Amino acid sequence: MSAPSLQVLIVGAGPTGLAAALFLARRGVAVRIVDEAAGPTTTSKALAVNPRTLELLADTGVADRVLGEGQRIDTIRVAHQGRTTATLRPCWDRIAPGRPMTILPQARTETLLAEALADLGVRPEYGAGLTGLTQTADSITVTLSRGETVTASLLLGADGAHSETRHALGLDFPGDASDEPWHLIDVAIEGAPQDEARIEFQRAGPLITLPFSGGVFRIIGFGADLLPRLPAGWKAGPVLWQSDFKVSHRMVPTMAVGRVALAGDAAHIHSPIGGRGMNLGIEDAFVFAACAADALNGDLSRIADYARVRHAVDAAWVKTSRGLTGFVAGQSLPVRALKRIAPLIAASVPGLIDQALKRGMGLDHPTAVR
Ligand SMILES: Cc1cc2nc3c(=O)[nH]c(=O)nc-3n(C[C@H](O)[C@H](O)[C@H](O)COP(=O)(O)OP(=O)(O)OC[C@H]3O[C@@H](n4cnc5c(N)ncnc54)[C@H](O)[C@@H]3O)c2cc1C
């Protein structure tokens, strides 16, 4: 039986799907990318583009555009009830030369990925949701909401936390969810430092601020209203976007079944503390593209390699994220004491910040898959 002319169908045109399509198209793989939405997202959602993502996107031209448009972070300030307890200055030249942690709204990152993809002749097809999926030893066949049937050699489900691909594979999504909603606000602020990420532990709960370029800031926290809790001297202007969300930590038991793989939020979700969500999906996309290219050349075991390698990395981060979030949100006496001491220790032990940043930004493991 001859192989289908479509080599890879990608379901979902979020950052994970777009990055996978880009990495595959650059390898000369015949790819289509479909999305059930009417068009691209317009909201800022994930902001942090980390050094590992910039490294993976370097050859695509997208990394330079992110660096050109985004806001680099040179200081991380930790405060307690209004008083600074540590000022951490990551040395990007040592940790990831030329690739500082950069803040850019997710909608803009997706636009840059889509433009690079369009340069290779591939465009996301909107209004085309996956509604059914079957596979044989040789191919996968899906039905789309617009009535089309598509056959391909491989499928990547990058269709987000409520993934229809994951449901079609019959996979669980075990984990837990918090009851307390976190608040998220994008707001113009005067009087705040432009290159500084800040976390303040307040009696009312944590308050995290991240700068976009151009005087707009993301505020994340829980508890009482966030804006009245901003540091002294910061003056909030118009609110541009706000949303409430509940934090979940979930990990799929396997990231591939036969010719179908999962990536990004379809396979793992966790809190935004650490800013890894979108970045982890782009890492998945990069590794999937390398393994899919080998699979299309006859070695289908490479899809199982993808699943094994990425499950280990992704599950480890979900676990770390759960611990970090519990620490940041925790209000017990020992945790409150640790919040005062931990930043001081981090700032005073040589190499500790570098190590923590490398781990948090995916620089602690190779991207090649053996
Ligand atoms: C309000 C909000 C704020 C966030 N803030 C942060 C943050 O500060 N930091 C951070 O790291 N992360 C944050 N995240 C998470 C981050 O946005 C995700 O981790 C990231 O978008 C995951 O990318 P993805 O491509 O895997 O999935 P998604 O971005 O969810 O993309 C999935 C795509 O699949 C499509 N789709 C769904 N079902 C189907 C179907 N059946 N057929 C075809 N297409 C389908 C969807 O339309 C969508 O375009 C936030 C998320 C939200 C919602």
In ligand 1, the atom with minimum distance to the C-alpha of 12 is: 34
110 is a domain residue: yes
Q: What token pair was written down for 80?
A: 């307690």
* 162, 265, 273, 286: residue to mutate for ligand 1 pocket, most atoms within 8 A of CB: 265
The CATH number linked to 262 is: 3.50.50.60
Q: Would you say the CB of residue 14 lies under 6 angstroms from ligand 1?
A: yes
Q: Give the structural domain span for 50.
A: 8-71+105-177+248-360
Name the DSSP class of 227. G
**How far does residue 244's CA lie from ligand 1's centre (Å)?**
15
pLDDT attached to residue 296: 98
**What is the rounded distance in angstroms from the CA atom of residue 325 to the CA atom of residue 358?**
18
**How far does residue 265's CA lie from ligand 1's centre (Å)?**
6
109 is a domain residue: yes
Contact (Cβ atoms closer than 8 angstroms) between residue 247 and residue 176: no
Neighbours of 351 (CB within 10 A): 8
* 52, 106, 244: residue to mutate for ligand 1 pocket, most atoms within 8 A of CB: 106
Q: Whose CA is nearest to atom 38 of ligand 1?
A: 159
Q: How many domains does the chain have?
A: 1
Q: Would you say the CB of residue 12 lies under 6 angstroms from ligand 1?
A: yes
112 is a domain residue: yes
Counting beta carbons within 10 angstroms of the beta carbon of residue 180, is it exposed (0 to 12), middle (13 to 18) or buried (19 or more)?
exposed
**How far does residue 51's CA lie from ligand 1's centre (Å)?**
20
Counting beta carbons within 10 angstroms of the beta carbon of residue 312, is it exposed (0 to 12), middle (13 to 18) or buried (19 or more)?
exposed
324 is a domain residue: yes
49 is a domain residue: yes
236 is a domain residue: no
18 is a domain residue: yes
Q: Would you say the CB of residue 109 lies under 6 angstroms from ligand 1?
A: no
37 is a domain residue: yes
Alpha helices in the chain (DSSP H): 15-26, 51-56, 62-69, 92-95, 106-118, 164-168, 277-296, 301-329, 333-348, 352-360
Q: Would you say the CB of residue 133 lies under 6 angstroms from ligand 1?
A: no
Neighbours of 144 (CB within 10 A): 19
**What is the rounded distance in angstroms from the CA atom of residue 118 to the CA atom of residue 256?**
28
Q: Would you say the CB of residue 130 lies under 6 angstroms from ligand 1?
A: yes
**What is the rounded distance in angstroms from the CA atom of residue 208 to the CA atom of residue 281?**
23
How confident is the prediction along the chain (370 residues), in pLDDT tens digits per residue? 678 899 999 999 999 999 999 999 999 999 999 999 999 999 999 999 999 999 999 999 999 999 999 999 999 999 988 899 888 888 899 999 999 999 999 999 999 999 999 999 999 999 999 999 999 999 999 999 999 999 999 999 999 999 999 999 999 999 999 888 999 999 999 999 998 999 999 988 899 999 988 899 999 998 889 999 999 999 999 999 999 999 999 999 999 999 999 999 999 999 998 889 999 999 999 999 999 999 999 999 999 999 999 999 999 999 999 998 988 888 777 787 787 787 778 777 778 888 888 888 888 877 766 6
